[in-house]
């Protein structure tokens, strides 16, 4: 699937508020906008994370180059039922 690039005009106040939310959620402003479009106009759930590094709770592992399986092994190997790779 190819992507379409577009521009959105926001007021400075709107943009600053989105930047604060994005920073707090450790996501990009673009990701917030995509999720809002999905939820409000396309009526589907936002895309689910596909790697631990994309989960907010695992932000400390964001720059870790190991695969999810390698991270699970490092955590003790008891996470075999984690749904990301199901």
- In this predicted structure, what is the pLDDT of residue 4? 84
Tell whether 66 is covered by a domain: yes
- Are both 16 and 35 inside the same structural domain? yes
- In this predicted structure, what is the pLDDT of residue 85? 47
| Pairwise CA distance, residues 56 & 60, whole Å | 9
- Are both 68 and 39 inside the same structural domain? no
Q: Tell me the residue range of the domain where 57 lies.
A: 49-86
What's the pLDDT tens digit per position in 32-53?
A: 898 888 888 887 665 665 666 6
Q: What is the pTM of this model?
A: 0.48
Q: In the predicted model, is pLDDT for residue 60 greater than 70? A: no
Domain count, the chain: 2
Give, in order, the Cα–Cα distances in Å from 60 to each of 17, 26, 52, 78. 24, 10, 10, 20
Cβ neighbours of residue 50 closer than 8 Å, sequence gap 6 or more: 84
What's the pLDDT tens digit per position in 1-30?
A: 687 888 989 999 999 999 999 998 888 999
- Are both 62 and 30 inside the same structural domain? no
């Amino acid at each position: 699937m190819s992507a379409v690039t577009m521009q959105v005009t926001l007021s400075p106040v709107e943009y600053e508020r989105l930047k604060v939310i994005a920073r707090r959620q450790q996501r990009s402003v673009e990701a917030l906008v995509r999720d809002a479009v999905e939820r409000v106009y396309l009526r589907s759930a936002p895309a689910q994370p596909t790697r631990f590094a994309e989960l907010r709770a695992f932000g400390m592992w964001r720059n870790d180059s190991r695969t999810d399986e390698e991270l699970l092994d490092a955590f003790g190997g008891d996470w075999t039922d984690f749904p990301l790779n199901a």
